[in-house]
Structure 1
Amino acid sequence: MSATRVVVLAGRGKTGRAVASALGRRGVGVVALGREVAGDPAGSLARLARGCDAAYVVAPNLHPDEPAHVAAVLDGLRAAGVGRVAYHSVASPYAPSMPHHLGKAAAEDLVRRSGLAWTVLQPGAYRDNLDLSADLVVPYDVRARFGFADLADVGEAAAVVLTGAGHEGATYELASRVASVAELAAEAGVTARRGEVDLSALDPREAAWLRAMFAHYDAHGLPVGTRVLAALLGRA
């Protein structure tokens, strides 16, 4: 089922904007929602998503209960008559050492049992989050290996799965490039080193979750293969 009108949750964030832009280039109508669904995702979407045949679901960053949020979103989509959903997850969702990844793993299960035609996208860390115009300081081992995803590529992949055939029931890991932060920095002509970051302004839960993520990166990185994204985007 090819979408002709898509509701994009968190549609004004960086991921949502990339997805909306890619859909727009294909002539797909987009309803970009943000704070309109805060507090009552089910009720808001039951109204605001009417007339849409598909949805791209991005949960708020570090949501305290992503499964509950996604469950309410799915309720709203069903009430609105939306038949197709693509869920924005994360690479390696079942990683017990990272609580926010586990939340996405549980939410993936809800999407798969939603009764909607579904696709799950699991992007790696965004390469765009690294400012390679200056020397880098990151709170984990700069030699750790990552499958980095470019934001524009993620947007294009989302548009492909929502407008093309054969993607229903699929789960796709997405990475544009495999590298370490040290390698990316060297290529850009800057340096990269490990250093502490100030998390004192964050909610204690969010800070604890981020520290757990940094520890996981130290031990394992976040490797993701590049072949799936290349195939989706028709690249050699």
Structure 2
Amino acid sequence: MMRIAVLGGHGKTGRAVAAALADRGAEAVPLGRDAWPDLPGALAGCGAAYLIAPNLHPDEPAYVGEALAAMSAAGVARVVYHSVASPYVPEMPHHLGKAASEDLVRRSGLAWTILQPGAYVQNLDLAGPSVSVPYDVDAPFGLLDLADLGAAAATVLLEGGHEGATYELASRQVTTRQLAAEAGLTAERVADPGTHPWLTAMFGYYDRHGLPVGTLPLRALLGRP
């Protein structure tokens, strides 16, 4: 049974990846912050790793660089990096951190694949009566279901032919208004809560451009719509 480390394995993304790996018969090894004092030791015996940085990390390239060094020291041969759709967007600082991290992954000396997921469907509250977001409800998005992400991650980790590939991932192209209407709900724009300047910048970008993401790579990876 192949052992695969999931760095950031205790969050919702890591749990989705670990569940999909288990469904495919692999052993997922979730690693959180407590593993970092001896990360090479925690990675020992793992043939591959899925690398997720904490949300809004202040220096994601440094985090990713440390993780890659630990993988090399532990003999991990394969890494899949969890990036973001449209990583090079100067208006979104946290996207730029992922763009720089992608460069580190490509130059790491490890066999690598990069996944660029769109925004998660699960980030929207569809419990009703209205779906509220701090950006234009008619902005176009490529939304990704967490189960689809997990299945795609398991595919690239466990099957050959994905080394050196970068895949955008979205389950569907839709606006917030359209998604709400499908659930019998309305959609409304609310004020930006102003919780983090990077999020404020992101909402402003979404207002102007949305975040379109292609759906064909995911369909190809999963072999289904």
Q: Gaps spanning 5+ residues in structure 2: where?
A: none
Task: Output the CA distance in 2 between the equivalents of 1:75 and 1:178.
Answer: 37
Equivalent position of 2:204 in the other structure = 215
SS of 1:141's equivalent? coil
Amino acid at match of 1:139: P
CA–CA distance in structure 1, aligned partners of residues 80 and 207 of structure 2: 31
The one-letter amino acid paired with 1:162 is L
Q: In 1, are the aligned partners of 2:7 and 2:50 still within 8 Å (CA)?
A: yes
Q: Residue 133 of structure 1 aligns to a residue in which SS?
A: coil
Q: Report the equivalent of 1:20.
A: 18
Moved over 6 A (4+): none
Q: Which amino acid aligns with 1:47?
A: G
Q: How many residues align?
A: 224
Query: Any gaps of 5 or more consecutive residues in structure 1?
Result: none
Query: Which residue in the other structure is 2:124 paired with?
Result: 130
2:29 aligned residue: 31
Q: How far is the alpha carbon of 1:198 from its aligned partner?
A: 2.6
Other-structure match for 1:168: 163
Match of 2:64 among 70, 74, 81: 70
Q: Which amino acid aligns with 2:19?
A: S
Q: Does 2:3 match 1:5?
A: yes
Give 2:176's match in structure 1, choosing from 181, 195, 198: 181
- How far apart, CA to CA, are the structure 2 residues paired with 1:44 and 1:132? 41
Q: Partner of 2:113: helix, strand, or coil?
A: strand
Q: Give me the TM-score of the superposition, normalised by structure 1.
A: 0.93
Secondary structure at 2:28's aligned position in 1?
Answer: strand
Amino acid in structure 2 at the alignment position of 1:228: P
Match of 2:217 in 1: 228
Q: Which is worse superposed, 130-139 or 225-234?
A: 130-139
Provide the identity percentage: 64
- Structure 1 residue 35 displacement after superposition: 2.1
Give 1:13 deviation, angstroms: 0.5
Q: Distance in 2 between matches of 1:216 and 1:44?
A: 39
Separation in structure 1 between the aligned mates of residue 91 and residue 158 of structure 2, nearest angstrom? 35
The alignment's C-alpha RMSD in Å is: 1.1
Q: Deviations over 1:191-214 (max 9, x none)?
A: 111111433xx4xxxx11001000
> Tell me, what secondary structure is at the counterpart of 1:92?
coil
